[in-house]
Amino acid sequence: MSLTTFINPESMPSNPAFTQAVRVSAAADTVYVGGQHGVDGSGQVVGPDLKSQARQALLNVATCVEAAGGTVADIVKWTIFFRDDQPAEDGFAAYIELWGMRPNPPAITVVQVSGFARPGIVCEIEAVAAIPAQ
């Protein structure tokens, strides 16, 4: 039995990049990954642009999920914040590089913001994963 059910009501728009809602059964451990920035292991910002920072932030989220015993495929919800002076297409391109065209994409929220507390940061990404209970 699948731990997740991807829900796209017929009365709502359909998009191959995201799912409207995801139901997770009680047989899963839920992992909440706090906001990740585009920084490397030493804490240095990887680049000035959204695409490079989003790519690294997504990899940081994946690293957290893997450390909890899961994979990127276990992510059921992404929240992506990016600075409003950055091109959204670059963030989406980085997401597609990581997620690809897998079926049943997670639910996604994307928010434009005026800035972040740390200078040089242009995006922050958080996620929720549903990992099969051990």
pTM of the model: 0.88
Quote the strand ranges of the chain, DSSP E: 4-7, 21-24, 28-36, 75-83, 107-113, 123-132
Given this model, what pLDDT does residue 134 score?
75
Q: Collapsing DSSP states into helix, strand and coil, what is residue 108? A: strand
pLDDT grade for 1, boundaries at 50, 70 and 90 = low
Closest by CA to 73, choosing from 105, 95, 96, 97, is 105
For the segment 19-76, what is each residue's pLDDT rounded down to a tens digit?
898 988 888 899 999 999 999 999 999 999 999 999 999 999 999 999 999 999 999 9
Residue 41: other Cβ atoms inside 10 A: 7
Q: Where are the domains of the chain?
A: 33-132
Given this model, what pLDDT does residue 11 score?
92
Tokens of 118: 């740390």
How many residues in the chain? 134
Better-predicted residue by pLDDT, 98 or 121:
121
Pick the CATH number of 33-132 from 3.30.1330.40, 3.30.70.1070, 3.50.50.60, 3.40.50.620: 3.30.1330.40
User: SS3 letters for 60-78?
Assistant: HHHHHHHHCCCCHHHEEEE
